[in-house]
Amino acid sequence: MNHTPSGTTANSRTDFIRERVRADLAAGRFDGRVQTRFPPEPNGYLHIGHAKAICLNFAIAAEFDGICKLRFDDTNPETEEATFVEVIQDDIRWLGFEPAEVVFASDYFDQLADWAIDLIEAGLAYVDDQDAEAMSLNRGSFTQPGTDSPWRNRSVEENIDLFARMRDGEFAEGSRALRARIDMGHENMQMRDPVLYRIRHAHHYRTGDSWHVYPTYDWAHGQSDAIEGVTHSLCSLEFDSHRRLYDWCLEHLDLPGDKPEQTEFARLNLTHTMTSKRVLRTLVDGGLVDGWDDPRMPTLRGLKRRGYPPEAIRAFCSHIGVARVNGTHEIELLESFVRTHHNRHALRRMAVLKPLEVVIENWPEGQVVELDAINNPEDDSAGTRKVPFTGRLFIERDDFMIDPPKKFFRLAPGREVRLRAGFYITCIDHVTDETGEVVQLRCTYDPETRGGQAPDGRKVKATLHWVAAEHAVDADVILYGRLFTDSHPGADGTDPLDAVNPDSRQVLTGCKLEPMLADTPGGVVVQFERLGYFAHDLDDPGLWHRTVGLRDEWANIRKRRVKG
């Protein structure tokens, strides 16, 4: 398996964006500079989809010796909050990126308004007294050209005066708007005199009450890019039709230096996942998850609590690359990167999730042996640890069957297996309760097999994980399944919320952990041997989250058997 993208340097890695950057550089554009930006609106939490954009923008800048700034696109006072400014910065740093600078579109409000006046003076913008409904009606349709507003030919003086009074808060919200004067018959709807400023008597989290007009995205974005010296403005596919307007705005302003260049790419979609803010908010508000940082959420905070390492997210984003086609990546691919990272870094520990008691009949009464166990076979420097072994242990319920089918080579009556880092044991009897369920195993051990090897060279087919009963630490462990049962929730036109998996989490109580795990700090991810990677909860020391399971051949065998 090769998770390293084929080439990570600017010269070898190729996609249409990097090719364009290289071409621009070769043509001497932008004085050889490369500058990108990540422009979130501070109105919600970042999710895995944003991670792709973040990685792309920062990676391009880094590969071409450029810089990438974080810009808050805070032009809509009604939806934005200061708290998100903090949260978003934290998440970006957690992902592993440090913006060259943190800037705000709202810092450019004065400049943007000045430019709007320039446009008015050039006869390229006007104040329209139509309301939103009338404007919409007059915009025409895909096949019908729009009709000019009755206010389209006001004098420059009147427009200047009206716009000034809009800024002063003289007019009601929605009663007027400043529009670009382009072409109401344009084949591109974005060019049919788009709104540049709308009246909002709203409190802005940064500029307070000093503004009564706010620029639209189209008026703010390109100019913000230009002000900052952005060279390559990367955005998602749906802005494709806005590119002509982006260029139009910049072409009609007196800008120093080269105009930034907008390039669109496909946003990230994942199977069994939704990245729509509306859907995620509904999940949170409806109590279907525990909040924005629920480990089932595709938010960066959710993934963090779940135990997804930022390195894996970055490797994933780099691997999937960029395209101009909207597609949906399999979540298994992301999980594979998570496993690859943890396999190399996570310490191995033993934990029994569904305990079954084992009594070693020939174990010396009261004896405790401290065994040496390897911390990480992938990393010798991780060393070893001591694990206590006694005559009463817990093993996994699933590791024993009274009547084992073919290909089940764990413990069964009369069978011998190895306990990891411990001894060979043989099951000589089992105790069942009145319902027939196995409640205890009686076994013997071979003292000669300490450490896990038999001097006579005999082999066992299985190695089981275990925990000494008296030394075990109790904990709750949460197993997570897909948040949505459907691989493409809502794709068939149904409500994605209908596809929410009612069994997306399974809380296991009374799990038995090896004693060392009690001292693990929150947030740390370890491998519970033979089970998967598990993240210690950030706040609750008695709680673990399954990040992702190990690949499980036995599960595949069972699945195949069920199927047929």
Partner RNA sequence: UGGCCGGUAGUUCAAGUGGUUAGAACGUCGGACUUUGACUCCGGAUGUUGCAGGUUCGAGUCCUGCCCGGCCAGCCA
The catalytic residues are 41, 267, 277
Residue 165 burial by Cβ neighbours in a 10 Å radius (0-12, 13-18, 19+): middle
How many whole angstroms separate alpha carbon 411 and alpha carbon 426? 8
CB 316 within 8 A of CB 333: yes
Q: Which is nearer to RNA, 15 or 486 (CB)?
A: 15
Residue 197 burial by Cβ neighbours in a 10 Å radius (0-12, 13-18, 19+): buried
DSSP class of residue 487? S
DSSP class of residue 474? E
How many whole angstroms separate alpha carbon 343 and alpha carbon 352? 19
Minimum distance, C-beta of residue 97 to RNA, in the bound complex (Å) = 19
DSSP string, 77-106: TTT--HHHHHHHHHHHHHHT---S-EEEGG
Q: Which of 248, 131, 129 has the alpha carbon at shortest distance from 180? A: 248
How many whole angstroms separate alpha carbon 121 and alpha carbon 158? 11
How many whole angstroms separate alpha carbon 214 and alpha carbon 209? 11
Residue 549 bridge partners (DSSP): 532
Minimum distance, C-beta of residue 561 to RNA, in the bound complex (Å) = 11
Minimum distance, C-beta of residue 89 to RNA, in the bound complex (Å) = 17
Q: Which is nearer to RNA, 176 or 314 (CB)?
A: 176
Q: Which is nearer to RNA, 469 or 550 (CB)?
A: 550
Minimum distance, C-beta of residue 242 to RNA, in the bound complex (Å) = 6
Residue 140 burial by Cβ neighbours in a 10 Å radius (0-12, 13-18, 19+): middle
CB 111 within 8 A of CB 223: yes
Minimum distance, C-beta of residue 309 to RNA, in the bound complex (Å) = 16
Contacts of 88 (CB under 8 A, 6+ apart): 40, 42, 45, 46, 70, 72
Q: Which of 124, 151, 122 has the alpha carbon at shortest distance from 135? A: 151
Q: Which is nearer to RNA, 294 or 308 (CB)?
A: 308
Q: Which is nearer to RNA, 139 or 442 (CB)?
A: 139
Q: Which is nearer to RNA, 156 or 333 (CB)?
A: 333
Q: Which is nearer to RNA, 218 or 225 (CB)?
A: 218
Tokens representing 525 are 């991810």
